[in-house]
Structure 1
Amino acid sequence: MPVTIPAWVKPGIWGGIIGAALITIVGFSTDTVVSGSTAQEMADDSGKQSAIAAMAPICVAQFKMLTPNNQTEQLAALKEESSYKRDDFVIAKGWATMPGSDAPTDEIAASCASLLMELS
């Protein structure tokens, strides 16, 4: 006995294929769906930003170890710097060098400079 396929099956299959293609295109173009490498890149960036956000207050704490008069002088000097050189100022003062580290980090210095500008 031959199997009969209903007439609506062929358009249904084509509709499923076209729908899957459209969902894939829309998903990837709106970043709703990402590849494994993109997801790993996003996770790495998120981890880096979290580490910077956690270490910037340590930089501020190192600044606060100065005497109150010296803090005022250093904040005034930081304000006089242009916005794109403030991280260099923080690095030069040694506040962006984390305990246990030999070298400062530019990203931590930039975040620290922003936090220090909020103090004033």
Structure 2
Amino acid sequence: MARIASVVFRGSSHLERLDFSRVSADVSRIPNACNNFVIRMRPRAQSCALVQVKIGHIMEIPTWTKPAVYGAGAGAVALAIVGFTWGGWVTGGAAQKMAESASVAAVTSAMTPYCVAQSKSDPRSIELLAELKAAQGYNRRGVIEKAGWATPLGTEKPNTELARACDAALAAG
């Protein structure tokens, strides 16, 4: 049920306005014409007249609204695609992984001189360096970890990335 706000009777000889703002009526059966509900009725005169029924609470949406909403949606999708592919945007998970790898790289680069200094000051350095030269692949990292050169101060476990960086520094130097 919709509420009829007003009804205007238009005839050839008279114009009459009735107020039905307090009356509920079912206007769903009235055909639609030009955004107003139009029916044929017989007012006081015996001839047919055109009756225009206006509904008070219907919001008229401009015709440009639908294309504007579709355009905004398509623009948002295009912006997201361009941003994530070429703009350098990343998700929260990817940013966290990048931050973790950057922190590991920073710790490794800062601690590599410590590892090299530990290898030089170790009393068993000659035999450990000979064992390091004889080892191949991931076994080289294991020799450095067992020697304790890749264990930072205050920790009990050796740092794997530090052991790799120390191996590269010892092999180069």
Q: Same fold (TM over 0.5)?
A: yes
Q: Percent identity?
A: 36
- Report the CA distance shift for 1:26/1:117 in structure 2 as closer, same or farther (over 3 A): same
How many Å separate the matches in 2 of 1:31 and 1:42? 16
How many Å separate the matches in 2 of 1:101 and 1:6? 69
Larger radius of gyration: 2
What CA deviation, in whole Å up to 9, does each residue of 1:65-110 have, x standing for no partner? Answer: 147xx65654443222112211001012221122222221222111
What CA deviation, in whole Å up to 9, does each residue of 1:26-45 have, x standing for no partner? Answer: 32245711123322232122
Aligned AA for 2:132? L
Residue number among 142, 145, 160 corresponding to 1:88 in the alignment? 142
More helix by share: 1
Question: 1:26-41 counterparts in 2 under 5 A?
Answer: 26-30=82-86, 32-41=88-97
Select between 34-43 and 107-116 the one with higher mean Cα deviation. 34-43
Partner residue in 2 for 1:63: 119
Residue number among 82, 98, 105 corresponding to 1:42 in the alignment? 98
Count residues with an aligned counterpart.
Answer: 114
Residue number among 138, 155, 160 corresponding to 1:101 in the alignment? 155
TM-score by length of 2: 0.53
Greater relative CO, 1 or 2 (CA 8 Å, sep 6+): 1
Q: Once the 2 structures are TM-superposed, how far is the Cα of residue 16 of structure 1 from its aligned partner?
A: 4.1
TM-score by length of 1: 0.72
Select between 39-48 and 57-66 the one with higher mean Cα deviation. 39-48
Q: Does 1:24 align with 2:80?
A: yes
- Report the CA distance shift for 1:32/1:84 in structure 2 as closer, same or farther (over 3 A): same
Structure 2 stretches lacking a partner, 5+ long: 1-61
Structure 1 stretches lacking a partner, 5+ long: none
How many Å separate the matches in 2 of 1:85 and 1:30? 41
SS in 2 for 1:85: helix
